[in-house]
Amino acid sequence: MKLTSYWLDTSEPFKGATPGPVQGSCDVAVIGGGLTGASAALALAKKGARVVLLEADTIGNAASGRNGGMCNNGFAQDYGMMSAKLGKDVANRLYRAFDAGVDMVERLVAEENIDCSFARVGKIKLAAKPEHYEKLLRSQELLASTVDPDTHMVSRADLAGEVGSDRYYGGLVYRKGAGMHVGRFVRGLAEAAARRGAEIHERSPMTGLRPAPGGGHIVETPAGRLHAKQVLLASGTSQTGPLGWIRRRIVPVGAFLIVTEPLPVEMLDRLLPKRRMAVDTKNLVNYFRTTPDNRLLFGGRARFAVSDPASDEKSGAILRTALHEVFPELRSARIDYCWGGMVDMTRDRLPRAGERNGIYYSMGYSGHGTQMSTLMGSIMAEVMDGRTDLNPWKDFTWPAIPGHFGPPWFLPLVGAYYRLKDKLS
């Protein structure tokens, strides 16, 4: 079993890195080489800007290459709750932004000829308890009447046509959802940006950021210094550099995944006959899907803990047990991959993007970043060009999380709370 991301292990390494020191000047410095940063670098380069992207490790090595490869529309939260909380008009505007994110991924895959197995197979949200099905039904009725008629319910009696498991009590299908090989996608985006002239430096963390005399910003790295007219922080949960303001507003939460050996097609036809992206309704959520080479990926918040090799292996054991509960016939299947990544959670599980003290930022995707990060990278290229009206999150304030100053000391308490909620709900 490899303790590494399946997506990164089965995609070609990024080949467009710029050799040599970080130096000179540029129009925009993009901090972070994940989906937001790569998408922004590509969009900015297309506009004719001189772009320098700085990545602390390698392209896609953080959350962008360590997720489930799901590209889904819709909120993580219940639509009815979000509509009541935000108002129907705001909720629908944001819901359509997630739709636009899936569309953006599909368009970039086609325009840049990225071989990442993108497919509009849809998503199914599975009721983990009978009462959860009733809540999903109410949500779907609201969705269909207001913002997303491309949804429908599947009863427990009909669920075998979607998922070969008796663990669930029905589900809600979102037909706009998609899946892809996210490692090939994020590296493909970076390659496309490099082809259009973006300068991309791997293993070049930002270690300093300050205003430059006469305007712009000085960006410090171990490989040199850069003068940038504008800076975009696409850094997510990064613990490198002067990002204290960001760190008080984002909680890095571990998400863990396992991937089986390749499975017979006839078995997958029983387990996931329509090959949808699948997620359940638990607080400590599980999600699963097939991969392009006929494996089964199974992930979730097995433990509220940071990701490191020891933590990943412990979480993998929990996920293996959960996998066998959902799909008993996989008890003898070998697990080939086990890994973790850090999700950049905000307090309300909604992204944040904007400008502060002359520095632009977009992050906090809270587990739904594959499509939204790609969309927001492109949108931030326009925002930095004066089109602030295009930012769907422009009206959202971003207060600090009380008691949170960096390391998430409270994660075990949060995990215990959600485990109790799952048990009692």
Compute the distance between CA of residue 116 and CA of residue 184 in angstroms, rounded to an integer: 5
pLDDT of residue 238: 83
CATH number at residue 357: 3.50.50.60
The token duo for 309 is: 């090799």
Q: Is the pLDDT of residue 419 over 80?
A: no
Taking CA atoms, 72 is separated from 88, 202, 237, 267, in Å, by: 21, 29, 22, 25
In this structure, is residue 372 part of a structural domain? yes
Compute the distance between CA of residue 10 and CA of residue 370 in angstroms, rounded to an integer: 18
Contact (CB, 8 A) for 73 and 373: no
In this structure, is residue 174 part of a structural domain? yes
Tell me which DSSP letter residue 160 carries.
G
Q: Report the 10 Å Cβ neighbour count for 106.
A: 18
| Number of domains composing the chain | 1
In this structure, is residue 247 part of a structural domain? yes
Count CA within 13 A, CB hemisphere, residue 333: 26
Q: Is the pLDDT of residue 241 over 90?
A: no
Compute the distance between CA of residue 29 and CA of residue 54 in angstroms, rounded to an integer: 7
Q: Is the pLDDT of residue 406 over 70?
A: no
Query: Per residue in 358-383, pLDDT tens?
Result: 999 999 999 888 999 999 999 999 99
253: confidence class by pLDDT, cuts 50, 70, 90: confident
Contact (CB, 8 A) for 106 and 120: yes
Query: Per residue in 202-234, pLDDT tens?
Result: 999 999 999 999 999 999 999 999 999 999 999
Nearest Cα neighbor of 194 from 14, 21, 55, 385 is 14
Compute the distance between CA of residue 111 and CA of residue 45 in angstroms, rounded to an integer: 15
pLDDT of residue 17: 96
In this structure, is residue 30 part of a structural domain? yes
Query: Which range of residues forms the domain containing residue 312?
Result: 6-414
Taking CA atoms, 249 is separated from 142, 199, 231, 358, 374, in Å, by: 31, 30, 19, 18, 21
In this structure, is residue 399 part of a structural domain? yes
What size, in residues, is the chain? 425
Compute the distance between CA of residue 291 and CA of residue 288 in angstroms, rounded to an integer: 10
Count CA within 13 A, CB hemisphere, residue 402: 0
In this structure, is residue 368 part of a structural domain? yes
425: confidence class by pLDDT, cuts 50, 70, 90: low
Classify strands 359-363 and 352-356 as parallel, antiparallel or unpaired.
antiparallel
Residue with tokens 């399946």: 6
Helix (H) or strand (E) holding 280: strand 277-280
pLDDT of residue 35: 98
Query: Per residue in 95-154, pLDDT tens?
Result: 999 999 999 999 999 999 999 999 999 999 999 999 999 999 999 999 999 999 999 999
| Mean pLDDT to the nearest integer, 42-67 | 97
List the beta strands (DSSP E) in 86-202.
Answer: 123-126, 151-154, 171-174, 178-179, 199-201
Q: Coil, strand or helix: which one is 93?
A: helix
Nearest Cα neighbor of 198 from 322, 308, 42 is 42
Q: Which residues of 27-57 are buried (b: 16+ CB within 10 A; e: fewer)?
A: bbbbbbbbbbbbbbbbbbbbeebbbbbbbbe
Q: Is the pLDDT higher at 347 or at 179?
A: 179
In this structure, is residue 422 part of a structural domain? no
The token duo for 272 is: 């996931």
Enumerate residues 6+ apart whose C-beta is below 8 A from 239: 247, 252, 406
Q: Average model confidence (pLDDT) for the chain?
A: 93
What is the Cα Rg of the chain in Å? 21
pLDDT of residue 311: 83
- Helices (H) and strands (E) in the chain — how many of each? 11, 18
The token duo for 226 is: 């850069």
In this structure, is residue 20 part of a structural domain? yes
pLDDT of residue 376: 98
The pair phi, psi for residue 51, each rounded to 5°, is -115, 135
Q: What sign does the dihedral 235-238-242-247 (CA atoms) show?
A: positive
